Amino acid sequence: MIVGIDIDHLRNPDRSGLYRLIWGLIAGVRDAGLTRQTRLFVTNSSSYARLRPDVARALDDFRIHEFHNPRVFWRLRMRMGVYGRCDVFQTITSTSFPPVPGRLDAFLVPDLTVVHHPEHHTEGNRRYWNGVFQIIQKHASLVTTYSSHARQDVIRTLGIPPEKVVVSYLGCDAEYRPVPPETAAPTLANLGLEYGKYILTVGTIEPRKNHVTLLRAYATLKARGRVAGVPLVVVGSKGWGYEPVLAEIDRLGLTGDVRVFGFVESLAGMYSGAGVMVYPSLYEGFGLPPLEAMACGCPVVTSNATSLPEVVGDAGLMVEPTDHVALAERIDQVLSDPALRGRLSAAGVRRAAGFTWRKYAEGLFGAYRQSLRQRSA
């Protein structure tokens, strides 16, 4: 079985969730000994040459191919090439890889927020994903997701037969592990932070991540005198619709209490040094930041929405995502109870250890094999 994988998204510099998914999948393929069965593809519009040098070097042990989408009269040449000879092709984000008759064409659906919450997306993003969903409904041999919630949503909303939709949980990068105070403290000090004395949230600043509810919860704690000397640290790039979040900081009078950072290199140290990591997202296909925080031994408070209970389980505290008072109480509970913090920290490390990229890759390849066997039968 030869599997082709779309890695077009690796050319994006933002290192967003899908970038990290592809990077993790490649690491999992390598760890599972599946490298020789795997072919990586970029389109001529993205170009292998445009990959960052460190990314290209890390892929040296894989066969990487540039795909040039031919004109209609040259489809036969496409099928005779490496692309057409793959038994399976896994599309991640690109719409430039056409399905090939007789081949197993698998498509990733991260989540269906664009369907259920179109107000959280730009018009261009809505148009793009709606086009992707039409392709999937017409051509998908297999749909891959990374939570049971997302699987049920795909079956119910897109009308894909259940036997065509599979789940394989994402993994956690090996770099995410507890970082001791003496190691993390210098980096934190450069950011004006003290180990164990800040509240952390990680994620692109956009409406879906629900930063406004977190800010209101923090303002509630401040009014009660519960977070003196404990700033709220926001790590994440500015996404679509970030302006209301920054405006809310000013409106609530939190300018001196909220620190907004963009991309942070030593994120494991940030997680490890936080008193609590809060993730009140409204909608997730999986939720990597809570998993990463748990792997670093950081207590987690998150919402009970969509896929997040599958990730956190009983190793974190959960609340309704729009209830800022309940969120404030949970945060205060963690910050004020050392015994609870210790229990959540230990439980988080244990739970996170069960999510690996090797398992993710093996789950996908197992689904490919089963689907091919069913076809041949």
pLDDT tens per residue across span 317-331 = 999 999 999 999 999
For residue 239 the two structure tokens come to 């996404």
Please state the pTM of the whole predicted model.
0.92
* Residue 219 pLDDT level (bands cut at 50, 70, 90): very high
Residue 74 has pLDDT above 60, yes or no: no
For residue 141 the two structure tokens come to 């041999």
Q: What percent of the chain has pLDDT over 70?
A: 93
Evaluate whether 3-171+357-376 and 181-352 have a shared fold.
yes
Residue 133 has pLDDT above 90, yes or no: yes
pLDDT tens track for 350-375: 999 999 999 999 999 999 999 999 88
pLDDT of residue 13: 62
Residue predicted with more confidence, 374 or 233 = 233
pLDDT of residue 251: 95
Question: What is the total residue count of the chain?
Answer: 377
Domain positions in the chain are: 3-171+357-376, 181-352
For residue 264 the two structure tokens come to 């942070």
* Residue 63 pLDDT level (bands cut at 50, 70, 90): confident
SS (H, E, C) 217-273: HHHHHHHCCCCCCCCEEEECCECCCCHHHHHHHHHCCCCCCEEEECCCCCHHHHHHH
51: Cβ–Cβ under 8 A, 6 or more apart, which residues? 10, 11, 42, 59
CATH topology for the 181-352 domain: Rossmann fold (3.40.50)
Q: Is 88 helix (H, G, I), strand (E, B) or coil?
A: strand
pLDDT tens track for 145-191: 999 999 999 999 999 999 999 999 999 999 999 999 999 999 899 99
pLDDT tens track for 269-282: 999 999 999 999 99
- What does the buried/exposed string (b/e) look like for 89-107 if buried means 16 or more CB atoms within 10 Å of the residue's CB? bbbbbbebbbbbeebbbbb
Residue 287 has pLDDT above 80, yes or no: yes
Specify which of 15-24, 50-59, 227-236 reaches the highest per-range mean pLDDT.
227-236
Which residue type does 318 have? M
Helices (H), the chain: 17-31, 53-58, 75-80, 82-85, 113-116, 123-139, 148-153, 181-190, 211-223, 243-251, 267-273, 288-295, 308-312, 324-336, 338-352, 357-376
In terms of phi and psi (left: phi > 0; alpha: psi -120 to 50; beta: otherwise), the region of 41 is beta
Q: What percent of the chain has pLDDT over 90?
A: 75
For residue 78 the two structure tokens come to 């496409």
- The CATH code belonging to domain 3-171+357-376 is 3.40.50.2000
